[in-house]
Amino acid sequence: MVAAIAGKMLKKPVCVASGTFGYGTEFAPFLDLEKIGGFVAKSLTLEPRSGNPPPRIAETPAGMLNAISIENVGVRAFLEEKLPALPEAAVVIASAFGTEPAVYAELAARLSDHPRIAGIEINASCPHVKSGGIEFGQDPKLLAELVSTVRRATT
């Protein structure tokens, strides 16, 4: 063990970023999830969200552009279906997204109550969503309010 997060030991000091690893189950056939440091699951909302209609990914000469818009199964399906499908020893950090601090806080409280969640990421920078996201990330006062509201709702 080389590092710890929220009292949970990590086998490696690096975690996979949210938005790159789905819910973890997608990568289980290709890699032992217990051997990586941990991963931040795809951002969650209170209710399932379909995101933007396709096409929403475009290749460019310099890389790729995307406008997924936080498509996800919602917190309930994540906790009841996705999380139990992961190995017990996998370190999981949940990512929360909402449109106002109270929504983030409710989401964070639900995630915080689950013993398998090692931490919560606040997604305050999603530029593809009209309300929330980037609005919080661009204003230090709004971001401070968001972080303190979420922190009060978690353990």
- Per-residue pLDDT 10s for the chain (155 aa) are 577 777 777 888 888 888 888 999 898 899 888 888 888 999 999 999 998 898 989 999 999 988 888 899 999 999 999 999 998 888 999 999 988 889 999 999 999 999 999 999 999 876 545 555 567 778 888 889 999 999 999 98
* pLDDT value at residue 128: 46
DSSP 143: H
* pLDDT value at residue 50: 93
Name the residue among 108, 101, 86 with its Cα closest to residue 22: 86
Question: Could you list the active site residues?
Answer: 126
Cβ pair 115, 29 in contact under 8 A: no
Alpha-carbon 121 to chain mean position: 6
SS3 content of the chain, % helix, strand, coil (to 5): 25, 20, 50
In a 13 Å sphere around the CA of 65, the CA atoms on its Cβ side amount to: 10
